[in-house]
Structure 1
Amino acid sequence: MFAQSAAHPRRRLAALAAGLSALALVATACGSGGSRSSSDGGSLTMLAIQDSASLDPFRRAYVAVTDEPRLAALYDPMLTIDPKTGNVVPHLAESLRTADGGATWQLKLRPGVLFSDGTAFDAEAVKRNWETHAKPETKSVHAAYAAGFKLTVADATTLDIVPSAPNPNLDRTIATHLTYIEAPSALDKGIDAAGSQPVGAGPFMLKSWTRGAEQVFVRNPHYWQKDKGLPKLAQLTVKTSPDGKQNLNAVRSGRADLFMTAVRRS
């Protein structure tokens, strides 16, 4: 059985362990290396075992050792699962509730949230994303989880959901498979363009991408938690580096801050 694990100095373990909470990592971590810290928040360099094929939320698996940290940086989850309690926790959403055992659900979003291009993160955007997942031509790896939804926008922050069959665990399904939302302005350009020029409502936005080498993310000026001083990092750099031993040496020598890998547990 494979489990995600991080190999890096103990002082950095807590930032990742919350664990493997990509959200906590990218939104609240501070660069710990002295050469990386700066007056505007510092930077953090993470090593990844492979480059992203794309950065859209449709054709990527939400796996911590590959694209999950990058997706969390770009999009922020609507809902997440607390690693300590296993409970579904709202984030960009204020709530997702059912009053009839899962036959119908109502999603409430935080008001005033913007995507990094300044457009509104609203119920129409969520509806557009889930309908995009369900279209065969999208080739979404999460298509099965959005199939059969009847979606009605009640107002800018309210989406009524009727699944194809009563589902008392729909909140968990959404937190696991449908939690990241791309800006409709990016979807208007097509899935391929949205994957290479992503627009989300997360703490960071993509500044540059050198294929096979590195991605550089910088603060989203419209981030909904900027008044709280988040994200604390000014820049997140993800470098492609498939060799685990070299990655460990890079972290130990201070050339990188952390990396994530998979280990086999006996």
Structure 2
Amino acid sequence: MKFFRKAAPVAMLATVALTLGACAQSERDAGTPGATNGGGAASGGTLTFGAAGAPKLFDPFYATDGETFRVTRQMFDGLLQLKPGTADLEPALATDMPTSSDGTTWEFKLREGVKFSDGEAFNAAAVCSNFERMFDQNADAQKGPADYWSYTMGAFKDKAADSLYKSCEAKDETTVVIALNRVSSAWPAMLALPSFSMQSPKALTEGKANDVKAQGEGFVYPANSQNPVGTGPFKFEKYDQANGTVTLARNDDYWGAKAKLDKLVFKIVPDESTRRQELKAGSIQGYDLPNPVDWKGLEDEGNQVLVRPAFNILYMGLNPEKNPKLKDLKVRQALYHALNREQLVQTQLPEGAAVATQFMPDTVAGYNKDLQPYAYDVEKAKSLLKEAGAEGMTLNFAYPTEVSRPYMPNPQKIAEALRTDFEAAGIKVNFTAKPWNGGYLDGIDAGSFDAWIIGWTGDYNAADNFIGTFFKGENNDFHTYVQDWGKTLNDDLVAADSIPDEAERTAAYEKLNQQIMEEYLPGLALTHSPPALVVGPDVEGIVASPMTAEEFNTASVGGK
């Protein structure tokens, strides 16, 4: 599998639960106040949130960036959604989801009386219309815009046999059956991804939704991409590109508890220090990913820093093709023992960060609780290097510039701390620093570096979304295929993903995590970090999401 990298902090989704009770109530449906800061204020008012960038378009199916998802999430619903503040699934437009014994046939009961914001009815036919639209993409769309479908489903209609998705059938108005070609642990968790949101079939048809055309290095999108029509608590009002604002209005016909706000505005403010100044001035009432060094100062100014549970991993990638010494397990172990990760957590990462024992957070089924962190032991690192004949080895080590990530607030300082540790063990480090979107990601893809730092925020709560994403396929960024165990690891990951029984699948992933960390060690899992967002003192009702997937329907501002 090609390593799929989100273009911005991606806010998403899901869980390992395989059944939802037919009577289960959504937090949206109940209008539950935000757990973090109340939410009992009266309706009304406008909340302006500072966005780091502009949404690329308003069709979530073709989006890959967090700024687009942050906006579209407020206007669209999926069949399933995340329970606020967690990575757990709960009903949204579907109310239950029984499955066949082999895990390939899923029957969903749908909410009744739901309408899209253009007045069209949501029903089983609309669900199938959406899935068939997603499945049937032209060659240009398959080159990039439809990334999340190819990432999760594997293939499109022109190669139907290779796709996870097989078919959709509307049994009646409120019952839909979706068939899969095989079992996958990612299903149904992926249905909470914004990309799988339900859109008005009428709007899709009138806006020629699939008429995507490649143009140079980019793409030209059809009218539908600027005309979002969903079933969510807000609806699209306008995008003022001159002023850099996207305005949403409350959807008074929403099927659940109505949004408290009259208006929700996303103001594009690319510079983080400027966002802080605007928050202080009151021209915005919140923004995402404040620098951890600013958390205390923001709170001292009366703001609320809402810290999310960590659902990410910072790791060091290793390329044994670029540096053959890295093919020796003892060398990779030596690198790990050379790192003082406790000190890294204490000096470079926000409060609540933790040393990683494996390539996934502890909330994911398949996490192996018996694994312990590699000990910081400089002498052991030196001894292992000597045994491997790699004393005095040189590591060409890259880090990104012009970026801050939830798992990596300051890449340069993190890289410098790691270099200090390596040099103490006798490892020479040559740095390469490149802009995130100006050569760094391309350099990783091209195999240009011996080692590099990068990370991952989970798309959904499944082990395959972490270790499957990293280590499956011949072309993964860890170059595991040049190792004699690479194909075995790939085959075992594929097999684990296809186990229908949840307990059996979890046990398989626990074993794989142990093998990855003790027998293979294809890279170095470093840390987990809790990202945050900040809101002003008068904002209530926003629940911090571990997937950076906050919804604003329960929010209120200024006592209104």
TM-score (norm 1): 0.78
Contact between 1:135 and 1:143, CA under 8 Å: does it hold in 2? Answer: no
Distance in 2 separating the partners of 1:92 and 1:162? 18
Deviation (angstroms), 1:182: 0.9
Q: Aligned pair in 2 of structure 1 residues 83, 205: CA closer, same or farther (>3 Å)?
A: closer
Matched, 1:200 2:230: yes
What does residue 184 of structure 2 align with? 167
Contact between 2:73 and 2:194, CA under 8 Å: does it hold in 1? Answer: no
Gaps of 5+ in 2: 1-5, 11-27, 154-162, 210-221, 290-404, 415-560
What does residue 243 of structure 1 align with? 271
Deviation (angstroms), 1:84: 5.3
Deviation (angstroms), 1:61: 2.4
Gaps of 5+ in 1: 6-22, 33-37
Equivalent runs, 1:19-98 vs 2, <5 Å: 41-61=44-64, 63=66, 66-82=67-83, 86-98=87-99
**Higher fraction of helix:** 2
Deviations 1:15-47 (A, max 9, x none): xxxxxxxx89xx978xx9xxxxx9861110011
What does residue 35 of structure 1 align with? none
Contact between 1:28 and 1:232, CA under 8 Å: does it hold in 2? Answer: no
Matched, 1:141 2:147: yes
Distance in 2 separating the partners of 1:155 and 1:209? 38
What does residue 114 of structure 1 align with? 115
Deviations 1:79-130 (A, max 9, x none): 1233655322111211222131412111121111000111111111111111
Greater RCO between the two (CA within 8 Å, min separation 6)?
A: 1
Equivalent runs, 1:142-157 vs 2, <5 Å: 142-144=148-150, 145-146=152-153, 147=163, 148-157=165-174
Matched, 1:222 2:253: yes
Letter in 2 for 1:67: T
Letter in 2 for 1:61: T
3-state SS of the aligned residue for 1:142?
helix
Contact between 1:206 and 1:217, CA under 8 Å: does it hold in 2? Answer: yes
Distance in 2 separating the partners of 1:28 and 1:51? 29
Q: CA RMSD in A?
A: 3.0
Distance in 2 separating the partners of 1:248 and 1:180? 32
| Residues 106-115 or 211-220, more deviating | 211-220
Distance in 1 separating the partners of 2:86 and 2:286? 25
Distance in 1 separating the partners of 2:58 and 2:120? 19
Distance in 1 separating the partners of 2:49 and 2:228? 20
Contact between 2:61 and 2:196, CA under 8 Å: does it hold in 1? Answer: no
| Residues 232-241 or 144-153, more deviating | 144-153
Contact between 1:102 and 1:168, CA under 8 Å: does it hold in 2? Answer: no
Contact between 2:78 and 2:194, CA under 8 Å: does it hold in 1? Answer: no
3-state SS of the aligned residue for 1:194?
helix
Distance in 1 separating the partners of 2:262 and 2:178? 37
Contact between 1:151 and 1:159, CA under 8 Å: does it hold in 2? Answer: yes
Distance in 1 separating the partners of 2:65 and 2:112? 26
Q: Aligned pair in 2 of structure 1 residues 39, 83: CA closer, same or farther (>3 Å)?
A: closer
Contact between 1:151 and 1:162, CA under 8 Å: does it hold in 2? Answer: yes
Deviation (angstroms), 1:171: 1.1
Distance in 2 separating the partners of 1:93 and 1:221? 21
Tell me the matched-pair count.
Answer: 235
Contact between 1:75 and 1:202, CA under 8 Å: does it hold in 2? Answer: yes
Letter in 2 for 1:221: D
Contact between 1:101 and 1:167, CA under 8 Å: does it hold in 2? Answer: no
Distance in 1 separating the partners of 2:47 and 2:194? 27
Letter in 2 for 1:96: M
Contact between 1:103 and 1:168, CA under 8 Å: does it hold in 2? Answer: no
What does residue 104 of structure 1 align with? 105
Q: Aligned pair in 2 of structure 1 residues 85, 214: CA closer, same or farther (>3 Å)?
A: closer
Percentage identity across paired residues of the two chains = 26
3-state SS of the aligned residue for 1:120?
coil
TM-score (norm 2): 0.39
What does residue 19 of structure 1 align with? none
Distance in 2 separating the partners of 1:214 and 1:129? 29
Deviations 1:51-78 (A, max 9, x none): 1121012111263xx1222112111233
Distance in 1 separating the partners of 2:237 and 2:194? 26
Matched, 1:183 2:200: yes
Deviation (angstroms), 1:259: 1.1
| Residues 158-167 or 171-180, more deviating | 171-180
What does residue 319 of structure 2 align with? none
Larger Rg: 2
Q: Aligned pair in 2 of structure 1 residues 39, 104: CA closer, same or farther (>3 Å)?
A: closer
Deviation (angstroms), 1:141: 2.1
Letter in 2 for 1:173: M
3-state SS of the aligned residue for 2:276?
helix
